[in-house]
Amino acid sequence: MQAFNTLTGIAAPLPMINVDTDMIIPKQFLKTIKRTGLGQNLFDEMRYDQAGREQPDFVLNKEPYRKAEILIAGDNFGCGSSREHAPWALLDFGIRCVIAPSFADIFFNNCFKNGILPIVLPKETVELLMKEAENADGRPFTVDLESQTIQRPTGNEPIHFDVDAFSKHCLLNGLDDIGLTMVKAEAIDGFEAKQKAGQSWLYAGTAA
């Protein structure tokens, strides 16, 4: 998993509440088990009409938001089914940080496991950031995970955010569930060697 330290990028405002995972990536695109290629269908039913043409009014079809790396949204983002394809689609599009007043729990945790930083801020602060994103004219925001701050294109005082210490550690070091296990590889190998020496019968019939 790619580590998350400091992200400087364009922020796209999405002033919608209850954006569910089927809106993020519709069910017909869930057949793949690959994490790549889903970005083109992110928010598919809002980005395209039935003929596959772009909807010009949707934020990610507008400049400069086509290259957004930060998404600012409304309450209860990521509700609905627990599909991990939702953070996969966001990440494949290029979005590595989502800011909202609240998130669905499973989506929130899936973000951390896939290298996306979900930031919870008060509703009034999120609305302020949305307005600043609308008026940024391509100027970027900077999200610094180490200092837990958001630098705004206005140059105004940075906004602080809270993040769980363990989740922060995992993102800073690029550790997903497999990575966390591999950090302990030496200890696991040592335990296995000791167990094989003292309880070899447990390994009878297995490859050396």
Residues with Cβ within 8 Å of 109's Cβ and at least 6 positions away in sequence, in order, are none
Residue type at position 27: K
* DSSP 8-state class, residue 159: E
Task: Record the tokens describing residue 92, joined without a space.
Answer: 């494949």
Residue 195: predicted pLDDT: 77
Residue 1 forms part of a structural domain: no
At 134 the three-state DSSP class reads helix
Residue 53 lies in a domain: yes
Q: Determine the distance from the C-alpha atom of residue 158 to the mean position of all C-alpha atoms in its chain, rounded to a whole number.
A: 21
Instruction: Tell me the two tokens of residue 133.
Output: 């994103």
Per-residue confidence (pLDDT) for residue 205, from 0 to 100: 66
- Can you give the CATH number for the domain in which 108 is found? 3.20.19.10
Domain housing 106:
6-198
Tell me how long the chain is. Answer: 208
Residue 76 lies in a domain: yes
Q: What is the three-class DSSP state of 128? A: helix
Whole-model pTM: value is: 0.88
Q: Are 150 and 119 spatial neighbours (Cβ–Cβ below 8 Å)?
A: yes
The answer as to whether 207 is a domain residue is no
Kindly report the backbone phi and psi dihedral angles of residue 131, in degrees, each rounded to the nearest multiple of 5, phi listed first. Answer: -65, -40
Task: Find tokens 């993020």 and name the residue.
Answer: 24
Identify the pLDDT of residue 197. Answer: 75
Total number of domains constituting the chain = 1
Report if residue 134 sits inside a domain: yes
Residue 204 counted as domain residue: no
Q: What is the Cα–Cα distance from 199 to 202, expressed in whole angstroms?
A: 6
Spatial distance between the Cα atoms of 107 and 87, rounded to a whole number of angstroms: 8
Is 206 part of a structural domain of the chain? no
pLDDT tens-place values along the chain, 208 residues long: 899 999 999 999 999 999 999 999 999 998 888 888 999 999 999 999 999 999 999 999 999 999 999 999 999 999 999 899 999 999 999 999 999 999 999 999 999 999 999 999 999 999 999 999 999 999 999 999 999 999 999 999 999 999 999 999 999 999 876 656 556 556 676 677 677 777 778 777 665 5
User: What's the alpha-carbon Rg for the chain, to the nearest Å?
Assistant: 20
Q: Cα separation of 27 and 21, whole Å?
A: 9
Note whether residue 84 is domain-resident.
Answer: yes
